[in-house]
Amino acid sequence: MTSAQERLTFDRDDPVLARLAWSRLAEPGDARAARLIETVGPSEALRAVVERSGRLGGTQVGDDVGSWLARYVPRLATLDPARDLASVRRLGGRVLAPDDDEWPAGVRDLSVPPICLWVVGPASLQPLGDRSVALVGARAATTYGEHVARDLGYGLAERGFAVVSGLAYGIDAASHRGALAAAGTSVAVVAGGLDRTYPRGNEALMRKLAADGAVVSEVPPGSTPSRSRFLQRNRLIAAIAGGTVVVEAAWRSGSLSTARVAAGLGRPVAAVPGPTTSMTSAGCHALIRSGAAVLVTDAAEVAELVGRLGEDLAPEPSRSRTERDELDAVTRQVLDALPVRSGRPVGALCRTAGLDEASVVSALGRLQLRDLAERQGDGWRLAPRARSAGGGSARAG
Amino acid sequence: MTSAQERLTFDRDDPVLARLAWSRLAEPGDARAARLIETVGPSEALRAVVERSGRLGGTQVGDDVGSWLARYVPRLATLDPARDLASVRRLGGRVLAPDDDEWPAGVRDLSVPPICLWVVGPASLQPLGDRSVALVGARAATTYGEHVARDLGYGLAERGFAVVSGLAYGIDAASHRGALAAAGTSVAVVAGGLDRTYPRGNEALMRKLAADGAVVSEVPPGSTPSRSRFLQRNRLIAAIAGGTVVVEAAWRSGSLSTARVAAGLGRPVAAVPGPTTSMTSAGCHALIRSGAAVLVTDAAEVAELVGRLGEDLAPEPSRSRTERDELDAVTRQVLDALPVRSGRPVGALCRTAGLDEASVVSALGRLQLRDLAERQGDGWRLAPRARSAGGGSARAG
């Protein structure tokens, strides 16, 4: 008999490799594995499985721990955490453990937190917290639902909120796209490995998120998405984000499970109403009727709901009231149309402000003179002084 | 100088005529007139105005009562309550005073109840109470809103609720029509006199309501609707009905005032959600967001909300559980599709139950044998035994 110990292809005493190995051994949401790892550390926990494996060939033991550990034995031979790590690094990604600085604080609230997180993309997960919103909903969304999801994604990104969703068709994809359109941060939490694109039709979107935002998974590369992994993924979306909004959901939609987890974690939960004649709004209406969700109709209402309860609420982009009041109406309109982050071209500012190009250009000149607007790339954005003036005026007034 | 007393064309000591005279003298919602009439009776109250009238030509008096009574003097000469009574009787109508048996109990809760009610139509106002629902909303309704209003009107009438509304275009008219289509009771509360059709385009609907339901007004024949009378009419709708549902309403819709009055009277208030992109749902969403209204999506939810809090809750149409359980699935489906009141043709039963004609006809045969269904007109309905079986089984179980 070959002992399981001999079959391990890596040093199980390396705590990082041992943790990554557990990410493949245990399914997401496995409470006993999580508790064992937390209690004795990943290396010791792994040793227990290997020992159990050795005894499987010999005499049967009756102890409880031994018997439930048996479920992990079949996967022992497949473990190659160094290969998994190399694989995710080839994608430009990284792995986070609970003691990493970037570990998203929200997932600590889960009764069964992830063992590690596989991440690709430039966005840091650490600062998300209350400045992030999960937008979730039906795959079989209506045109109305996708329109609302895109508007919410855009409006929240404009307000400096990261948009967290699940990369599915329908509401998820529209939410990500809205945030990306506003040059905001968007984070996709997926149910399979980072090297798997699911669904295939969202491959370009996944690449864009990996390039500009982040794609996050609880399972190692090569893992396929499954029904239970989708459910566990939903709990992760709810935990990472500061609040959850269900945009469109039928009666038995998986998005309702995301909302339930969010509520269980004490996070604000909201739902968007729709026509009572639309089955894809029935779940939203049920959430609102039962008091489990607040009715929201736009990004401002979501921002108020999620931001209000936050402890690390970022300063709202606001300007000195006096200075603003000195501006003429047209210049104020242009000021209000300026984004906080990446510059917006003049053409887009014309559309947002509802003004012609000559008016926008001359207003930008006045705003630049007052140090309230600045060029960025091909466009214009709020100058740092305009962004921070809110704090100053709050102290003064 | 001619005294006002001489100008009166009727015996002001007749309490009925004096009350009808007050209905023209005072505008709806006039708190001081209502209090004076309640305190000293309509005849004495009228005498005070007549006296005030006499003094107007003589020395000015400084007493407060005298001065506010002056506002009624200009209308004294126009009073002809006997003519008003004859006029409403020519329409086949009647006048209700607070001590009449038919006086709707709900209006007693108003801080300023009506002085009298001018009514035409066979429906009695007395039994409305918690078995009635006000369906109100925008005149400029959307197709969606009218569709929902009609469905709610139909579904509530089917459940034995009277539908109260304001005969306006849009939501009001659709609500009335839905209730009439289910052969239910519908009551229109109008802002002008019963001889005035407003709006003109709803003349046929008004005639139908006068023939099959009721049309109610607080002002005497000949009175034109005015802005303040519309608002006072809204309070009356809220008070007569057991609960109020706002189907579609923009931000500043008059329907919101009906909802406010209903809430102030402690009546359940509900609102129907719609697309967040529709301005005519914004008022509904605001009511739900603020907690002033419960979100409802169908007649069953409205019935539960309004019926639950009722004190004189009529028995719900239900059947003995045991007997029902003995039926096969198809027969149960047909049983559930049978209306309580006017018979439904076989074709309509097929659509409601989702069954073919042969199945429905043979199920009707089985139900008739068990005394659970009966013919009515061209159609079928629940037999009396099926309707009352609920009470019996509740006692037994």
Asked whether the predicted pLDDT for residue B245 surpasses 50, the reply is: yes
Q: What is the CATH number of domain B93-308?
A: 3.40.50.450
Asked whether the predicted pLDDT for residue A135 surpasses 50, the reply is: yes
Is B295 within 8 Å of A298 when comparing Cβ atoms? no
Window 280-319 of B: residues touching A by CB (8 A cutoff) are: 281-282, 285, 288-289, 294-298, 301
Helices within chain B (DSSP H only): 4-7, 15-25, 31-40, 42-56, 64-69, 73-76, 81-90, 143-158, 171-181, 203-212, 227-240, 255-264, 282-289, 299-308, 321-326, 329-337, 346-353, 357-369, 384-396
Q: What's the CATH number of domain B321-396, 3.90.330.10, 1.25.40.80, 3.40.50.300, 1.10.10.10?
A: 1.10.10.10
Of A147, A274, A294, the CB nearest to B273: A274
A364 interface with B at CB cutoff 8 Å: no
Of B275, B296, B298, the CB nearest to A275: B275
Distance from CA of A394 to the nearest CA of B (A): 28
pLDDT of residue B330: 76
Of B147, B275, B295, the CB nearest to A295: B295
Distance from CA of B302 to the nearest CA of A (A): 12
More confident: A170 or A396: A170
- Cα–Cα distance between B10 and A180 in angstroms, integer? 79
Asked whether the predicted pLDDT for residue A151 surpasses 90, the reply is: yes
Helices within A61-170 (DSSP H only): 64-69, 73-76, 81-90, 143-158
Of B148, B276, B294, the CB nearest to A273: B276
pLDDT of residue B371: 85
Fold equal for A93-308 and A321-396: no
Region of residue A250 (left: phi > 0; alpha: psi -120 to 50; beta: else) = beta
| Average pLDDT over chain B, rounded to an integer | 87
CB pairs under 8 A between A and B: 57
Asked whether the predicted pLDDT for residue A163 surpasses 90, the reply is: yes
A145 interface with B at CB cutoff 8 Å: no
pLDDT of residue B395: 25
pLDDT of residue B8: 82
pLDDT of residue B308: 54
ipTM above 0.90, yes or no: no
**Is the pTM for the entire model greater than 0.90?**
no
A272 interface with B at CB cutoff 8 Å: yes
Asked whether the predicted pLDDT for residue A236 surpasses 50, the reply is: yes
The predicted-structure confidence for A306-332, as pLDDT tens digits, reads as follows: 985 443 343 343 434 457 767 877 787
B144 interface with A at CB cutoff 8 Å: yes
pLDDT of residue B78: 85
Nearest CA in chain B to A299: B276
Asked whether the predicted pLDDT for residue A67 surpasses 90, the reply is: no
pLDDT of residue B66: 61
Asked whether the predicted pLDDT for residue B144 surpasses 90, the reply is: yes
Give A395's pLDDT tier (boundaries 50, 70, 90).
very low
pLDDT of residue B63: 53
The predicted-structure confidence for B251-305, as pLDDT tens digits, reads as follows: 888 899 999 999 999 999 999 999 999 999 999 999 999 999 999 999 999 999 9
Domain extents in chain A: 4-79, 93-308, 321-396
Environment class of B346 (CB within 10 Å of its CB; exposed 0-12, middle 13-18, buried 19+): middle
A279 interface with B at CB cutoff 8 Å: no
DSSP strand pairing (B132-137 vs B162-165): parallel
Distance from CA of A303 to the nearest CA of B (A): 15
Q: Answer yes or no: are the C-beta atoms of B69 and B48 closer than 8 Å.
A: yes
Distance from CA of A147 to the nearest CA of B (A): 9
Over residues A165-189, mean pLDDT: 97
Of B274, B285, B298, the CB nearest to A275: B274
pLDDT of residue A394: 26
More confident: A3 or B240: B240
